[in-house]
Amino acid sequence: MLSDDGKQPDAMAQTDRIEQVDTAEVEMGAVVSNNTTGKPPPLPQIDRMLLDKERAPEARGAFTDSVPRSYWYSWQFLGTFVAIILAKDAGSGGFSLAAPVLASINAEIGPDPAVTWVSLAWTLTQGISTLVVGRLSDVFGRRWIFIVFSAIGTAGAIWASQAQSIKQLIGATVLLGIAGGVQISYFWIISEIVPMKWRFAANSFIYVCSFTSWLGPKISYDFFTKTAAGWRGSYYLLVTLNGLSTILFWLCYHPPTFKMLHRRSALTNLLKSFDWVGLVLYTGSFVAFLIGLNWGGSSYAWKSAHVLGTLIGGIVGLGVFVGYEIWLAHRYKSVVPFVPMHFFTNLPLLAITGMTCISGSSYYGLASVWPGLVHNVWPVYSQSKTGNMLSLFVLTYLWGQVVGGAIAHFTGARKPLITSMLVAAPLLGCLVINPIDVTLTSVLMGTGSFALGIMEGVALTATTYPLRSQDEIGSAGGVTGTIRLFVSTIATAAYNTTLNNRLAVTIPGHVGPAAAAAGLPASSVPLLIQMLKGTLPAGTTVPGLTDAIMTAAKVAYRVAYSDAYRTLFFVCIAFTVPGVFLCWFVIDSDKSTDEFVAGHLHKRTDESALEGDETDETGEQRS
């Protein structure tokens, strides 16, 4: 907005254009009447970036030249940053600390065949809360959502640490998963409180601090083997992480309040107009589909009524949900939709969301099958070297995430995304060559997963840029996160089903002939296979087995696993090659928005002044 003479209008004239709202003098915010630069805040530029013109000026974000330098080292900003780091570690640890010792936990407080629901409960609940919280926090404000969900994580960790049965642990994991949906959404939470040009670097720093991702298996194993607390020590750690993040969010995190976000709307009216039907449709359908995927091939056969019923019901429900959201957007303009459908017409956003799906599906899928390759295909190493090989994929991937954010800070998103995909896809595809070759396979996997991690580190943060408005960053982050989880779950099921189906063919096909050629009776081959798998009942012997036969059988067993993994890595190609095409549709951010801070923080003592006097305590507009 320029005046007729081409000059920038004064600050009061700009404020008048924003619905004549009087602004308070505050230390931190989009409007600072006596900021350190002496420049008027660029309200027209901010106005251009937002759809919601109902927001108070203090809730519209800020450009850095209108923010005092002291803001960046204030206890509110630094405390919130630390709260996000602790919450991220707590969210990741809810799964990474429990999974490595789950069998030992089951042996102590079980055994219970429902133990698989410990992992399933975490996946289901965090997938739901990721989208739900992202959307609700955009509409109703973020402060109390983050406080409450971190408190839920604290309660879940306390319950888990005292669990006396597997069913109690499942219940506690439900709470940890609900909290985890917020906590693993760090990529858009941290992006909101730093200038847009610093988002990649800030998220890269979060990756560095994510020690439960880097060292989760070692931490849980050390608790189990070296402390009196045993496996419960991991949950005591989660109590600490969740508890501290709750306290810091409560003390330091003061983003725009509901009154700042909705100066003209009453809370009761917004609650009535929110799309609660869409929320229920999405939640029920998503849960049903994920349960079917996790049941298939493990708890029930893929063709069983349990699996088919939940899968088909979930797919149909999600279809109904999409149709309902489209109809609602056209029929009732006043209703606040649960998922804005315009996200699915935004090609750059869809492309970068697809990239996160590629990285997530490859990470979760390969991480679930990599230990089987190390244990069953490669020669027997010392305990320390086996641990190093088991960590190869995860550590190189996580290191790639750190490096990716650092690179993108200087180059933008597009170049590192294209480069990393052009490296990762062929290298991971080449894993099919000869899985039994330790050197070749480990080099290909290490380098390929590093490139894949670079892509992930860039892609997650890049989803916050191609939005039509920065006031939808939570909703977009929730949609991206839940789609990523959806595709990753499908990929994990595909990896494990392919591997199990191939092993059912390759093990008898290799072990049987090799053992028979070495002199084992044909009737003893099934028992020998059970012995190699470690499922032979205690006290059972294999008639005719000799050391020479066992040696030949072990070699054949390794070859059988190698052949199965060769087929499995073709699945890896299917989940990485699409990224080679999607990466070309990614766009870099608009340089004119580099200095914009989408979600500035304020002092609690300034809250009343910033909210103004247009609404009363209940949110109803005053006459």
The least confident of 53-67, 114-128, 187-201 is 53-67
**Helix H or strand E encompassing 189:** helix 186-193
Phi and psi, residue 184, nearest 5°: -85, 5
Instruction: Tell which wins on pLDDT, 561 or 101.
Output: 561
Extract the tokens encoding 54.
């109902």
Q: What is the pTM of this model?
A: 0.79
Residue 468: pLDDT band (50, 70, 90) is confident
Q: What is the mean pLDDT of residues 12-37?
A: 36
Residue 411: pLDDT band (50, 70, 90) is very high
Extract the tokens encoding 240.
């600490």
Burial class (CB in 10 A: 0-12, 13-18, 19+), 205: middle
The phi-psi region of residue 38 (left if phi > 0; otherwise alpha if psi is between -120 and 50; otherwise beta) is left
Q: Give the bridge partners for 62, in sequence order.
A: 597
Render pLDDT for 534-554 as a digit per residue (tens, 0 to 9): 888 877 888 988 899 999 999
Range with the largest mean pLDDT of 54-58, 201-205, 241-245, 475-479: 241-245
Do 611 and 257 contact (CB within 8 A), yes or no? yes
- pLDDT, residue 383, reads 66
Extract the tokens encoding 527.
């028992």
- pLDDT, residue 10, reads 41
Residue 18: pLDDT band (50, 70, 90) is very low
Question: What CATH code would you report for 341-504+555-591?
Answer: 1.20.1250.20
Render pLDDT for 80-126 as a digit per residue (tens, 0 to 9): 999 999 999 999 898 888 877 888 898 889 888 888 788 778 877 88
The DSSP secondary structure of 338-374, one letter per residue, reads SS-GGGGG-HHHHHHHHHHHHHHHHHHHHHHHHHHHH
In this predicted structure, the answer to whether residue 596 has a pLDDT above a threshold of 90 is no
Q: What is the mean pLDDT of residues 182-211?
A: 89
In this predicted structure, the answer to whether residue 362 has a pLDDT above a threshold of 70 is yes
- pLDDT, residue 274, reads 78
Instruction: Tell which wins on pLDDT, 325 or 260.
Output: 325
Pairing of strands 596-597, 62-63: antiparallel
Cα–Cα dist 164/223, whole Å: 18
Residue 452: pLDDT band (50, 70, 90) is very high
The DSSP secondary structure of 239-292, one letter per residue, reads HHHHHHHHHHHHHH-----HHHH-SS--HHHHHHHB-HHHHHHHHHHHHHHHHH
Picking from 514, 554, 513, the residue whose alpha carbon sits closest to that of residue 533 is 554
Domain boundaries, the chain: 11-71, 275-335, 341-504+555-591
In the chain, the percentage of residues whose pLDDT exceeds 90 is 36
Extract the tokens encoding 405.
């954010």
Residue 506: pLDDT band (50, 70, 90) is very high
Q: What is the mean pLDDT of residues 138-153?
A: 89
